[in-house]
Homo-oligomer: A and B are copies of this chain.
Amino acid sequence: MFSKACVYGLRAALYVATLDKQAFVPIKTISDHLDISFHFLTKILQTLTQHHIMLSYRGPNGGIALARPAEQINAIQIVEAIDGTRLFSDCILDLPGCGTQRPCPMHEQWSRIRSEMKHLLETTTLAGLSERISQFDLRITADEGGLNSPGG
């Protein structure tokens, strides 16, 4: 579905959102918590800062932070920054120029699914996800329990 980089980007951004601090969070802290390769995550977050979704700051007390309130960052911004927009535009049979003018036989049906997928990602904000996490003790790590569990 999404690339690994995209999934890691989503998880990392969401993790920062759950901390709900003004301070910069070191990437090492995030990579440790989410069990993602530090160097790989650094690259992914570089992309997000280049797309003005996150801010970075070097040196002691540096790290990364959300570029704006979590209410104003939605999943699709992250997905499109990392994986591009092709997922939401390409024909499922990969035919160039497929559209209402010259549709493939699955165009109509697939467009519907794609729109719903896009709509979901557009209406899913980091704030919403973060709230859901704290409310139901959901998890964004690969470990056993929720964020508030021992070890989490």
> Which positions in A face B, CB cutoff 8 Å?
1-2, 4, 7, 10-11, 14, 75, 87, 90, 92-96, 102-106, 109-110, 113, 116-117, 120, 124, 129-130, 132-133, 138-142, 145
Contact = CB atoms under 8 A, between A and B. Distances in A.
A103 B139 CA distance: 7
- Overall SS of chain A's interface: loop
Contact of A106 (B92, B95, B116, B124): B124
Q: Give how many copies assemble into the complex.
A: 2
B124 A120 contact: no
Contacts of A96: 142
Contact of A1 (B10, B92, B104, B105): B92
A132 B106 CA distance: 9
Contacts of A140: 93, 95, 104-105
A113 B119 CA distance: 11
A133 B116 CA distance: 25
A105 B93 contact: no
A91 B60 CA distance: 36
